[in-house]
């Protein structure tokens, strides 16, 4: 295990003392904080070797290109890709999923085909498939969520048929924290000839990930949730799938040859990376991967299990508080969504903010899931590598203040 107190010292925003109440950051599910090494790496790029990649035959351009591609290789090793050229830079997990929908999906789906996803998905893993179905005549079906926050696997199995072409499922719910049985889902989907896309926006920052062991076909995730900068995300897919996919956008750097009659596309991954990329952000993400590797992803997971175990135990004594999702820490991530009696989640978040505690309130880009439970919104506290049990204690104290003020 790592020393969390030392980890906290690595995050400048957590060591500011300009206000009377220090920041207790419990919104890492939305976006994580950044360690100094990531901030410094991006600053160094802009100060010392700012130049475009893949274009200049001069020293700082070659240095930028090397750093940009080295980050890609780090990310490939981090998820155990078969080859680093399977790692595509995007803006975020949302763009990664849309890339699959507009390229692979548009080329392979037709009227009558079926896409399966779930009721617990983030909008980013719902709307692209709804829009793809509208364009192609395919049908979207949804695996139900049980009252306990699990997927109804019997219902999933009943949906499977040769008409199913894609199963797109979260690897960890951003609301419920649920970790679905993706090994089983992937095996059953492949048995009927379907490909599987995992939305790893929540899982990649928090779990050890091995795409070869998972045997998924696509994996999408974002840099800003895993200690990296905003504006950079990843799509991973197997090489043979990428080779068969048309480009997402066209323009510079994604071509081998252009004439007035047409163009020949570049090889993956560059075929999908038109224009000047997010160079500093890619470099920053590479340093975030280095940082997580030093902590050890198995340690990251164990740390969060211990924190969530403590949080579930402490929160159960808060009057009127109802937690959604699995009740056992081993089956969930570091996100806890809850309601507090009849107090509106926005009011809960506002009172907590007055105590220096940052949580999220709303539908968390999962409106169908909230509709399922008859809710307009929930409050969500989420934990990461820089959180400690004292943060849970502050949350509980803040919730008691909410009850005293508003109940």
The pLDDT score that the predictor gives to residue 17 is 66
- Over residues 293-334, the pLDDT tens digits come to 999 999 999 999 999 999 999 999 999 999 999 988 989 999
Identify the H or E element spanning 34.
none
Beta carbons of 402 and 346 less than 8 angstroms apart: no
355-383 confidence digits (pLDDT tens): 999 999 999 999 999 999 999 999 999 99
Residue recorded with tokens 């507090």:
340
Going by pLDDT thresholds of 50, 70 and 90, the confidence category of residue 18 is low
Same domain flag for 10 and 63: no
Alpha-carbon torsion, ordered 204, 133, 115, 146, to 10 deg: 80
Query: pLDDT tens, 45-60?
Result: 999 999 999 988 999 9
Burial of 58 (0-12, 13-18, 19+ CB in 10 A): exposed
110 and 217 both lie in a single domain: yes
Q: Does position 19 have pLDDT exceeding 70, yes or no?
A: no
Output Rg (C-alpha) for the chain, integer angstroms. 22
In which element (H, E) is residue 196 found?
Answer: strand 195-199
Angle at alpha carbon of residue 102, lines to 284 and 123, rounded to 5°: 70
Same domain assignment for residues 100 and 226: yes
Domain with 342 in it: what CATH number? 3.90.1150.10
Whether 276 has a pLDDT exceeding 80, the answer reads yes
Rounded average pLDDT over 74-84: 98
Q: Are 61 and 209 found together in one domain?
A: yes
Task: Write down the pTM of the prediction.
Answer: 0.96
Q: In the listed set 278, 293, 308, which residue is the last one of a domain according to the structure?
A: 293
Residue 153 Cα to chain centre, angstroms: 23
Distant-in-sequence, close-in-space partners of 366: CB < 8 Å, separation ≥ 6? 120, 121, 122, 123, 173, 174, 175
Domain identity same for 221 and 317: no
Q: Compute the distance between CA of residue 69 and CA of residue 91 in angstroms, rounded to an integer.
A: 16
pLDDT digits (tens, 9 = 90+) for 207-228: 999 999 999 999 999 999 999 9
**Domain end marker among 293, 326, 345:** 293
Task: Specify the pLDDT at position 116.
Answer: 98
- Which of 293, 320, 347 lies at the terminal end of a domain, its last residue? 293
pLDDT of residue 240: 96
Tell me what the mean pLDDT of segment 20-38 comes to. Answer: 95
**CB-based contact 96:220 (threshold 8 Å):** yes
Are 318 and 234 within one domain?
no
Structural domain count, the chain: 2
- Reference 206, options 300, 326, 312; nearest CA is 300
User: Quick one: 109 and 227 in the same domain?
Assistant: yes
Q: For residue 399, what are the CA distances in angstroms to 30, 260, 369, 371, 403?
A: 21, 65, 24, 25, 6
Give me the active site residues, please.
365
Is the C-alpha dihedral spanning 92, 371, 383, 405 positive or negative?
positive
pLDDT cut 70: percent of the chain above it: 99
Q: What's the mean pLDDT in 286-298? A: 98
pLDDT at 151: 98
User: CA 314 to CA 318: how far, in whole Å?
Assistant: 8
Average pLDDT, the chain: 97
Residues 253 and 318 grouped into a single domain = no
DSSP 91: S
CA of residue 114 relative to chain centroid, distance: 25
- DSSP-based three-state secondary structure for 255: strand
pLDDT above 80 for 231: yes
Q: Which residues contact 374 (CB under 8 A, 6 or more apart)?
A: none
SS3 234: strand
150/283 same-domain check: yes
Query: Do residue 247 and residue 326 come from a single domain?
Result: no
224 shares its domain with 314: no
Separation of first and last alpha carbons in the chain: 40
Identify the domain containing residue 158 by its residue range.
39-293
- pLDDT exceeds cutoff 80 at 20: no
Whether residue 273 is found in the same domain as residue 341? no
pLDDT band at 121 (very low <50, low <70, confident <90, very high): very high
CATH number assigned to the domain comprising residue 133: 3.40.640.10
Q: How far apart are CA 50 and CA 36, in angstroms?
A: 19
Cα(129)–Cα(307) distance, integer angstroms: 35
Cis amide linkage into residue 269, ω under 30° from 0? yes
Q: Tell me the mean pLDDT in the region 252-278.
A: 96
Higher pLDDT, 22 or 346: 346
Is the Cα torsion angle 250, 256, 257, 262 positive or negative in sign? negative
């Amino acid at each position: 295990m790592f020393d969390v107190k030392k980890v906290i010292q690595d995050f400048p925003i957590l060591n500011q003392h300009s206000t009377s109440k220090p920041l207790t950051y419990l919104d890492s599910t939305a976006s994580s904080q950044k360690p100094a090494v990531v901030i410094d790496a991006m600053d160094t790029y802009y100060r010392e070797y700012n130049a475009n990649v893949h274009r200049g035959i001069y020293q700082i351009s070659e240095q930028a290109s090397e750093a940009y591609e080295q980050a890609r290789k780090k990310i490939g090793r981090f998820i155990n890709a078969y080859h680093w050229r399977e790692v595509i830079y995007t803006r975020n997990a949302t763009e990664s999923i849309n890339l699959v929908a507009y390229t692979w999906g548009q080329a392979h789906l037709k009227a009558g085909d079926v896409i399966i996803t779930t009721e617990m998905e983030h909008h980013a893993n719902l709307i692209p498939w709804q829009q793809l179905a509208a364009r192609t005549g395919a049908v979207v079906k949804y695996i139900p969520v049980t009252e306990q926050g699990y997927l109804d696997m019997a219902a999933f199995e009943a949906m499977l048929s040769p008409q199913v072409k894609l199963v797109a499922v979260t690897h960890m719910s951003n609301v419920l924290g649920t970790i679905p049985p993706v090994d089983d889902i992937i095996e059953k989907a492949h048995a009927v000839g379907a490909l599987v896309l995992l939305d790893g926006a929540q899982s990649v920052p928090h779990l050890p990930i091995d795409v070869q062991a998972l045997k998924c076909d696509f994996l999408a995730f974002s840099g800003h949730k895993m200690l990296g900068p905003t504006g950079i995300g990843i799509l991973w897919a197997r090489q043979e799938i990428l080779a068969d996919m048309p480009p997402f956008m066209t323009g510079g750097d994604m071509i081998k040859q252009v004439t007035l009659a047409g163009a020949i596309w570049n090889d993956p991954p560059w075929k999908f990376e038109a224009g000047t990329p997010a160079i500093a952000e890619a470099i920053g993400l590479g340093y975030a991967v280095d940082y997580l590797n030093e902590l050890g992803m198995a340690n990251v997971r164990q740390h969060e299990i211990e924190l969530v175990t403590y949080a579930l135990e402490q929160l159960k004594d808060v009057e009127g508080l109802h937690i959604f999702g699995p009740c056992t820490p081993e089956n969930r991530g570091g996100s806890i969504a809850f309601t507090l009696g009849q107090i509106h989640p926005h009011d809960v978040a506002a009172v907590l903010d007055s105590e220096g505690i940052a949580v999220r309130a709303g539908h968390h880009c999962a409106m169908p899931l909230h509709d399922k439970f008859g809710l307009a919104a929930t409050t969500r506290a989420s934990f990461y590598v820089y959180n400690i049990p004292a943060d849970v204690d502050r949350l509980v104290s803040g919730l008691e203040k909410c009850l005293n003020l508003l109940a």
